[in-house]
Amino acid sequence: MSGSTNVAPMQTEEQSRRERIGVSVSATNVQTLLRTIDEAEAAGVTQLWMTQNPTSLDSLTVFAAAFARTQRVRLGTSIVPTYPRHPLALAQQAATVNTLGPGRLRLGVGTSHRPSIERTYGLPMVRPLAHLREYVKVLRAALWAGEVDHQGQFFTARATLNQTPGLPILIAALGQEAYRLAGEVSDGAISWNSPPAYLRDVALPALSAGATAAGRQTPPLVAHIWVALGDDKAAVATTAKQTLAGYARLPFYANMFAAAGYPVEDGAVSDALVEQLVVQGAEDTVIQRLTKLLDSGLNELLLSIIPLGDVAAARTRLFQLIGQL
């Protein structure tokens, strides 16, 4: 159950680079989102990701519809929050969706954040990493072995499933201990808003250490990167700071930013942090920087758009750029 199960076979360097870059998509309307997924596949994008929160569309339900109308594009959740869903219920849903697009689904899960879990759902967020470890243990048994007999601190799960799809299970990670956990139990770690230097110096060593301790191959790191196609640095900085302000007010992110050397206070994001998190410039400049990130040891990139002007147009430009690699 190594991380290599996540990555499609590649024959050339050009294919390798395109296969290693995915794009995050979102919309408030289902039909708009499905058309966006169609557009990405037609442009040649090989991997799309969808984030889920309490008010967004349900990612796996959208993926079920998308698999019925696409042929090749892989779809991944980045992430499904663990606290609101019993792992057996999520395993059942994911296994069902996988039958509609065999081999094209990657299941990313994570604990989310205390304001979302406790205030929105009224669920106590206690020992989140221990909760996530146990959650993945149940998911792994259900999706890979087809049989679960578990009585733990957080979950009771006893069932025999009809399907064992062996879905790649990735987990969201911010801090060093989360990356160690990902190395121990997952098929990949998904970062979010983390400076590349932090990923290289903290995340990758911790991911490798966790895998070594568990006697398994190091799974891939899917590194989240913001992209702005344009040279107006002032406009990019303004938009990026507005986008990142909400994250900076969350304790998990604030702690990670501080550990990376970019402390924030009251959501105030510095120009230096924006420079680290956002790849910006004309198409050629963006491709050069993305290639440099891949060459630096990051296994995959997960791109989110900082739109300058029309959001749909910016998304189309990014799809075309990645699809032509």
pLDDT by residue (tens digit) across 252-298? 999 999 999 999 988 789 999 999 999 999 999 999 999 999 999 99
User: Is 203 among the domain residues?
Assistant: yes
How many whole angstroms separate alpha carbon 319 and alpha carbon 317? 6
The CATH number that applies at residue 40 is 3.20.20.30
User: What percent of the chain lies above the pLDDT cut of 90?
Assistant: 88
Task: Report CA Rg, the chain.
Answer: 19
What does pTM read for this prediction? Answer: 0.93
User: Residue 95: enclosing H or E segment and its boundaries?
Assistant: helix 87-98
User: Is 202 among the domain residues?
Assistant: yes
Structure tokens belonging to residue 213 = 């301790």
Give the mean pLDDT of 103-109.
98
Domain count, the chain: 2
Does one domain contain both 304 and 179? yes
Is residue 12 scored above 70 in pLDDT? no
Does one domain contain both 27 and 115? no
Is residue 4 scored above 50 in pLDDT? no
Residue-level pLDDT at 308: 84
Does one domain contain both 164 and 216? no
User: Is 126 among the domain residues?
Assistant: yes
Residue 68, judged by CB atoms within 10 A of its CB (0-12, 13-18, 19+), counts as exposed
Give the mean pLDDT of 218-237.
95
Residue-level pLDDT at 14: 52
Does one domain contain both 254 and 143? no
From 139, 169, 199, the end of a domain falls on 169
How many whole angstroms separate alpha carbon 258 and alpha carbon 269? 11
How many whole angstroms separate alpha carbon 189 and alpha carbon 183? 8
Is residue 7 scored above 70 in pLDDT? no
User: Is 6 among the domain residues?
Assistant: no
Residue-level pLDDT at 1: 36
What band does 304 get if pLDDT is binned at 50, 70 and 90?
Answer: very high
Does one domain contain both 87 and 124? yes
From 169, 192, 220, the end of a domain falls on 169
Secondary structure (3-state) at 161: coil
Spacing of C-alpha 32 from chain mean position: 21
What band does 11 get if pLDDT is binned at 50, 70 and 90?
Answer: very low
Does one domain contain both 99 and 135? no
User: Is 68 among the domain residues?
Assistant: yes
> Which range of residues forms the domain containing residue 183?
12-74+93-104+170-323
Does one domain contain both 50 and 84? no
Does one domain contain both 41 and 84? no
Residue-level pLDDT at 211: 98
- pLDDT, tens digit, 9 for 90 and up, residues 164-175: 999 999 999 999
User: Residue 107: enclosing H or E segment and its boundaries?
Assistant: strand 105-110
Does one domain contain both 253 and 283? yes
Average pLDDT, the chain: 93
